[in-house]
Amino acid sequence: MMTPMEWRWRPSSGNVTFLLLVIIISPLLANSWTNIGVQSSISYRSYRRSMQHMHLHSTGKHQFENESANNNQPNTRLLVFGLGNIGTLVAKIAATHLSSNSTPSFDRVYGTTRSGKEIENVHTVQFDSYEDIRDVISSCTHILTTIPPIEAENATNTTFIGEQPRNWSHFCDPVLNNPSLRLHEIAKPNTWIGYVSSTSVYGNHDGNWVNEDSDIKCDPTSKGALYLRAENEWIDAANSGGWKMNVFRCAGLYGDGRSALHTIRKRGVQHEKNKTSNMKIGNPTSRIHEKDAARAILSAMLISDETGGDTSCKRYNLADDNPTPRHEVMAFGHELLDDSNLLPSETPKPSSRRRPSEREKRRKTDKKRVENKRMKESLLPEGLLYPTYREGLKAVLDINKEKWR
């Protein structure tokens, strides 16, 4: 037997044939693998998009499993100004991948709070910690603000810096116009900016349908007019800063923590009967479950990743498919609670002398049906989780049933 040093390759008919085959097919193999690699890089974007839509569609039901992230993707970071109901939902859904195997949308999610609120996998920052927020802004690719605008005459005593009240000469949006944040200077070009506005900007349309291009008829002294002013200020700032701007005009938001069911249980059955009997029958109002609103907003962020440098402002109405008079919604809520033996006492509670809110006044004066075609076609082509108040209230009841027993 030969030692390794004595071994030499000796040609044979089999070896020669093998060498010829390698020489012939190697270029073909290389070209095939190159084509496969190119095709993979082209298709990954659409694959990631489809996976993200699956993730958004599954929110509130179940999550798809075992989708791994592509670590070579650029960092995407989200900052949510205002962790109220809708802000919290957006932040939670955006951060879901951090504790699961789902396809990621963001590498890190931040949110501002005044109360010290904590959310799993969301890095919370106190709203008045301006230096910390400025550092966050400079690193974020997406910024969503859910904080409502404030009238100039009410701005001075709204919040405090240290122990001193704010004293600004011009004030509408507490994020954009906050001189301590300096958003104009810090947010980078091509940053996605989302502003949560209200369908109250449309005003009264005598019960007709309104879309994103409908005339603005809100009372100049109303909160709707203030929202419109804030929208325009954000759009002007986006044009100046080269940001990608989206405006979300939300109909009445309801969800697991606030709904017609909560109202009936809080105020009593008789109170609601008396209240709705005085309303004009047939005055439609539009609404949307908070989970569907959050899904639409996140979908808009993902679309912006695919449109590259498109900085044109896009407006979306966020509403469900079924504008309905409030008394019909309350009647259905009463029915749901009654069927589950969860109705409160019939004894009416003492009437309150508080002034009716502007929203309560608008129910009587601002008659309109909010169209959601653009939202459904562009943001939620797979459909709403809760197309009408009926599916939405049933889901709210399921979440709260044990707590209310």
Of 151, 140, 239, 234, nearest to 196 by C-alpha is: 234
Residue 51: the pLDDT is 43
Residue 144, token pair as written in the block: 């969503």
* 65-85: pLDDT as tens digits: 333 334 344 589 999 999 999
pLDDT tier for residue 54 given thresholds of 50, 70 and 90: very low
* The residue type at 247: V
> Cα–Cα distance between 131 and 401 in angstroms, integer?
43
Q: How many helices (H) and strands (E) does the chain have?
A: 13, 15
* 342-375: pLDDT as tens digits: 998 765 555 555 566 666 666 677 899 999 999 9
* 97-122: pLDDT as tens digits: 655 545 557 899 999 998 888 999 99
Cross-strand pairs, 254: 289
pTM: 0.77
Mean pLDDT, rounded, for 303-325: 87
> Alpha carbon 328 to chain centroid distance?
28
Residue 158 neighbours by CB distance under 10 Å: 12
Identify whether the C-beta of residue 245 lies closer than 8 Å to the C-beta of residue 314: yes
Q: Which helix (H) or strand (E) holds 78?
A: strand 77-81
Q: Which class does domain 56-61+71-256+286-322+369-386 fall in?
A: alpha beta
